[in-house]
Structure 1
Amino acid sequence: MATPDRVSYWNDTRRLMYIMLALWVFFGYVVHFFVGALNNIVILGFPLGFYMAAQGSLIAFVVMLFWFARKQNAIDEEHGVAED
């Protein structure tokens, strides 16, 4: 891979990493800071704060893993370093 393309590749990869890190912090910490306020909202008989702490964040993390893999693969294909 040529040097300018390598810089572009790592810039795209770094941008994706920062987005994923921000989402991880949001679902891992920020949502849990507002559990008290979220408990006022009830979905299917469960307070939203409880749901987000028990299941919601875990579901978000799994979705984030699949989304990250798909986006990183697209970056790899765009820059010609994708695996076969």
Structure 2
Amino acid sequence: MTDNSSRNSGDAVTDGGRAADDAVTDGGRAADDAATDGGVARGAAQEHNDTDYLGAEVNILNPSTPYMRDHLRIVWSGFAVWVLAVWGPVTLTRIAPGPMTSQMPILGFPLHYFLVAFGAPTSALILAFWYSRKRDALDEKYGIDHADVAESKSGAGVAAADGGSDE
């Protein structure tokens, strides 16, 4: 069975099984003690931990959370560079066919051919590396750690892609 942890806006909030007259304690802290996060999350990472992503509206053009806004900024920046790298040489060939179709002195290829055949795929590889570095920095900023493996009830770290587990 899968764990359905999704919520609807109309779902009821429960008290965890306490009776109505049960006293709620603060865990033995003095009244003036400040509650801390244990020194784990600060700044944007704490805001990320406090955000209810299941209840947040997902809108790709107007993201509702800071993480989504920062990630969308990275995606649009990469897309703009990709458009220039792929369509720039083609557009320049249409606008200025003389210099773009002239032979390159070293390789002997026309400039537009070299830019499309070598520049576009190379820029795609560079953009993939750039995106992975920016995404890692964004995950670090918001305290997201992909190294943690959640233990499941039926097996330790079993993924759907590994064929399951023997029970």
Q: TM-score, normalised by structure 1?
A: 0.82
Structure showing the higher helix proportion among its residues: 1
Helix, strand or coil: the match of 2:65? helix
2:119 pairs, out of 53, 56, 59, with 56
Q: Which residue number corresponds to residue 31 of structure 1? A: 89
Counterpart among 127, 130, 136 of residue 67 in structure 1: 130
1:8 to 66, 71, 81: 66
What whole-Å deviation, never above 9, does each CA across 1:43-73 have from its counterpart, x for those lacking one? 5232321101111111001110011011111
Distance 2:105 2:132 in 1: 31
Identical pairs, percent: 25
- Return the structure number with greater strand share: 1
Q: Give the number of the structure with larger relative contact order, counting CA–CA contacts within 8 Å between residues 6 or more apart.
A: 1
Distance in 2 (alpha carbons) for counterparts of 1:22 and 1:43: 30
Distance in 1, matches of 2:105 and 2:137, equals 36
Q: Using a 3 Å threshold, how does the CA distance of structure 1 residues 2 and 63 change in structure 2: closer, same or farther?
A: same
C-alpha separation in 2, matches of 1:33 and 1:3: 44
CA distance in 2 between partners of 1:76 and 1:82 (Å): 7
Gaps of 5+ in 1: none
Quick one: distance in 2 between partners of 1:43 and 1:66?
31
* Residues 20 and 64, structure 1, Cα contact 8 Å, conserved in 2: yes
CA–CA separation in structure 2 for the residues paired with 1:79 and 1:59 = 30
Structure-2-length-normalised TM-score: 0.44
For 1:83 and 1:13, locate their aligned partners in 2 and report how far apart those are by CA, in whole Å: 16
After superposition, the Cα gap between the structure-2 partners of 1:61 and 1:28, relative to the gap in structure 1 and judged at 3 Å, is same
Segments of 4+ moved more than 6 angstroms: none
Change (3 A) 1:41 1:22: farther
2:104 to 36, 42, 46: 42
